[in-house]
Structure 1
Amino acid sequence: MAIKASSQITIVDIDDVGRLSVYLNSSLPLSSIYDPNKDSYTPSWASTNLKITPVIYFNEKALSPASPGVTVSWKRREGASTEGNLTAGETVSGGILTVNQNKLGAAASGLLSYICYVTYMDPESGVTVNAQSLLSYSLLQNAVELHYISIAGGNVFLYDASGNLTGESQLALTATATNVTVTGWQYKNASGEFVSYPTTSDNASLTSSTLYVKPSHAIFFHDVATIRVTTDDPDVYDIHSIYKVRDGAHSAVGVLTNESHTLYANSAGSVSSYAGAASTLAVYENGKDIVDTFTVTVTPSSGITGTQSADQKTYTITGCTVDTGYVDFTASRSGYASITKRFAVTRVKGGAAGASARTYFIDASTLVLNKNISNVFTPKTVTFSAFYREGTSAARQAYAGRFLIAESADGTAFTTKYTSSADETSKEYTPSSPNIAAVRCTLYASGGTTASLDVQTVAVTRDGATGAAGAGGTSVVVGNESQVIPCSSSGTVLNAMDVTIPFCGYQGISKAACTVAAGALPAGVTVKSNTPASAGTDGSLVLSFAAGSALGAAAAMNGTIDLTFTCNSTTVVKKFTWTKAKAAVNGENAVLFEIISPAGNVIVNSGNNVVLETIMYSGASAVTPTAYVWKKYTSGSWTAVSGQTSSKLTVTPDMVDAIASFSCTGTYGGKTYTAYATVTDKQDNYSVDIISTLGTQVKNGEGSGVLYYRLYQNGKEVDLLKTTAFLTAAPASPASGDFYYHIDKANNKVTLKKYNGSAWVDASGPDLPQAAYHTYRLDKDSLPMDEGEAWKTEKVVYVDGSMIDTKCTFVVEVI
């Protein structure tokens, strides 16, 4: 009869074969120390190469790695991950492993193991024995030295009511650095960007630890200069603010009649009309326009041209070659803070020639609401009206759109108070509260509040209190408004530190008593001390940042703390900003790249496809390679699969001849990673697996068990076992129809038993295996035993250690 399937298993008596052992000698200690401050390793495997030598013994006899029958191979494992092949910088020669790079630095876990595998064929028995040994190396790390810098020095220039400088005419700022070097001084320009401090006769070098600041230096904007010192560590810096405090400072505000304007152009950028492209500056104090007492200068941005009126107050745009631009109005007067307002210009290009362009704008009935000492506005309301001009026409037409009106208490943050429910040409608006600083109206295109057409802001001025001449205005000056906190790579505070925030209050140009209260503090921050300021001394608030604290969340890189100051019965809120400076992580994230087949990797009888999918992780985060290359192993080499460059590969039956191996190489972070997968095509063939409960090794003839066979057709098991219970005694409390295999050691026999409801009996008929299983034996020299005849003809056969003379091979043929 034809043989459907066959298989074999070899069981070895290891005491008969002999004992193989291997030990590893390391040329360097099992730990290396990394100093992050010097970026050095002790010992350095790069300068003194690590060499690991295997020492091999067979039955206490030394063997050289080059001895006949000896094979030495090496693997590596990082941390608790799976082992893998050696990488660049790890080479083997004569069985000795040499490592010429500091590989521990790239091991995220700080633990790296090298595993030596040795195989040896005993020339007497012909049996191959195996042994392995492992050496683990660990990385120790010195503490990161604290990188820190802080600025100390004055922060106020004082001016009397006539605008004359009093007190200090120069301030010296001193930077105290720890483990960093000053690389420069910067100031924040009008665009809010930090740029290099101007070189002056006082500051010939901008890399020294001292910076001299004068009020004449072109670094002040709205009477405030923000200065930063930088270091050779880009994450370590400090910021210091200097203020110009003026006695009896005037409460003048600037207002533009037109804050923004849209110019419509054809597709080539040619503006069809400049009608309405003008704005006039007004300066209000106590409800009166006093712009005529100021000197007004205008500064158009690049690409904007126009003319300034004879009285300097109005600028009319006559040319625009950019899509966005502006004109800055600056009003100056001795004894007053400089006032700057911006007129924004937008050019909108159209498509091909068509209808005339239309310009939309808001007309406000007043640009200023003045509040008297009784908190009553004059006028009480403001009316916003919408208009448009067609093409080059100077005539304006009423427009029905939607209005969104908002109020602001500080002139910066606005809260919406009114939104049109339907299209309307105008809206009369009454302020909701006297405690506001501005009202802003935005015009939207009809039908909704999506397309913004124009914006107009109405400022709020206030009358001073009536009475005798009082003290000067109240000011609060904070000496430290931001701090960089050195943190570990995981986002926690590296070392405990105290942050001092000096402050003082002024009434006019005279110091006054002032207190501060800290708002909500992030976890790990506490108030160490809080000393009020007096008329003679500055106050200070000291915040303690605890070592190891995440400041609310490890991922949070910055935050603010509200500081509420009280001076002369006036409350002022300022924000203190903290920023984390994270230490770099040693090495880099381990990258895992795998091929998976969610629906299985077997094609059954050419009836289905197999989809191979790739996954990649960098550390604990899923990432996506930038490129994929799929290959198939054919005729001894890897050949690219044409046209397959995505993350998935669909394997069809015609791509697999019984079994096929595929690989995918993914590119990520400038490096390539390769993963492998195997696909099997099971046709109408049979296969049989041999399972040994004794294992594949016995020692000194001890142990017993069974061999049982599992038959498969097209990948599906057929002729199934009734049970896998192999016992020397019947199970207790059986149920009718239960089975077990009875092991008879005395007669070297295994019998299938069935419980009939009252007793255990030998199974028969359809309960027995339907296929015939013939087991043959081969001795240690691979010669047939039992005169070449079948040794057993059952599906389950008994074996024990006494049957193994050095080794025995069992061959099963299924008929």
Structure 2
Amino acid sequence: MTTLVDLNDSRQLQLYIKSNQPRVQIFDPNASTYTPNWPTNKPVLTPELYIAGTSTDIIAQAKSIKWFVDGVELTASNTDYTLAASGVKTLTVNTNVLASANSKLFTVEVVYTDTRTGADIVAKNDIEFVKVSSGQKGTAAITGVLSNETHTVPTLFDGSGGVFTNAASTLTIYEGSTDVTGSWTIVQTRTNVTVTEATSSRTATVTALSADTGSVTFTATRSGYSTITKTFNLTKSKQGTAGSNGTSPTAYWLVVDASALERNVALAYTPASIAVSAKSQVGTGTPGNYSARFIIEEQDAGGTWSTKYTSAANEISKTHTPTSNSIKAVRVKMYLAGGTTTLLDEQLIPVVDDGAEPVRAIVWTPEGNVVRNGSGSLKIKCDVYQGSTVKTAAYAWFVQEPSQSTDVGGGIGWKKLDATYNLGVTGYTTTEITVPASAIPSVESFKCVATFSGATYSDVATVSDVTDPISSAIVGGTTFKNGEGSVSVTCKLFQNGEEIDSAGSEYTYTWSLYNENNVKIANWNTTGSKVGKTITVAAGDVTGRAHLGCDVSK
């Protein structure tokens, strides 16, 4: 007598932990606040237990439920945690327990007694909460910038007849990248110069220079801040020959289209480049363009200056784009035509930024990440944080699709959800999407790409249908008599306690035969396998004892 053995899968449990709060908590060290603040928005962890192939949550039938925090069993409620005393033992977090840790691992252990066998089955699962700090913002950098730091005044041979065109400078004070000059008190100290504006003005327009050199010193004060001091220096350049009428003096100066470069959180500059041009004026004539030579330098993060451009020929203007996103300043030098020996004017363009708090996107499932038996829906939300503040962004949603070979905004392998392709998902241009169970074939991942302040941020959430696991059973004859005849066997599939694919048209059934030593019989049916929901096994296929297995695929 030969016996065929059913290799049907044993009963399996699926254990999940549902949380009503995202698994990431944002800490703002500047205000010492947490988002979400758990004492107000308490995370409640709820275990859910299913028998594979069913949609009924049987956690209430569990023999025991134990919770562990970082591997240590929590046996009773305390200040930080409330442990439900009976029934479905939920775990509630009462305080910001991540204040003293960067993460917390919560593990649930469930013992369930199998009603068919009477055996105890142990299932475990865990969920980790992580703290993300926005970083110490500190005091924004205070920078004082003069629109013109040095100026040369051309005069006749005796120092008279000076040309004071563009002999002016304006002080701008930045707090980070914001002009806050109006919040400061400014006092000008003048040496050998006559200035149009009052001594309290941020601008000094020089109309006379009583000596060969002169200066205007700006002193800016503000309560609680260090004093800022910047000096505008002027020098006479005497021309002509003593004892004669001499020649008309010529003034040269630089014109720069930006007094500072602003760097945003994406490390991009505004403006993206700076334009400089050379000007000149002979005597009291009309100012015009001048063909000069330029040297443009950049200061790196360590304070070292390096030359990035030198004019190969005389030129009126030059546009320069910073070569790095980490420079501290740009310096432009203007030289007399023909070479880089005689310096005519120089201008410093600092880089200002405020060290804005980091931006991140967090995708989470506010109603849990599980649907049951292919019904219902889930919500998936994307929160964009700058520091600990939720910001409004532009949202694009994607579903994982291995066949997506081009990047359409979410990366290779991610297909964009839109009006043409959406799987029934709604809200795919907003902060929150609603995903129907029909869009979740067992397990599915969704990505949100959020655009904020010119930069993109992304995160992924994975959701599942707990009833998609399908149980199988092989039914039919299992014995032969006297080594003759045949038996007919059928592989039946069950989901949620009901048979599916009874016609055998939705799945592919591939059968294999193993000898008594569990070695596959390679030449069975010539190819080593048979295909079909129901097959026939002949007595001649079996010697002594054999095992029959069926692989089901779709």
TM-score by structure 1 length? Answer: 0.26
TM-score by structure 2 length? Answer: 0.38
Bigger Rg, structure 1 or 2 = 1
Higher relative contact order (CA 8 A, sep 6+): 2
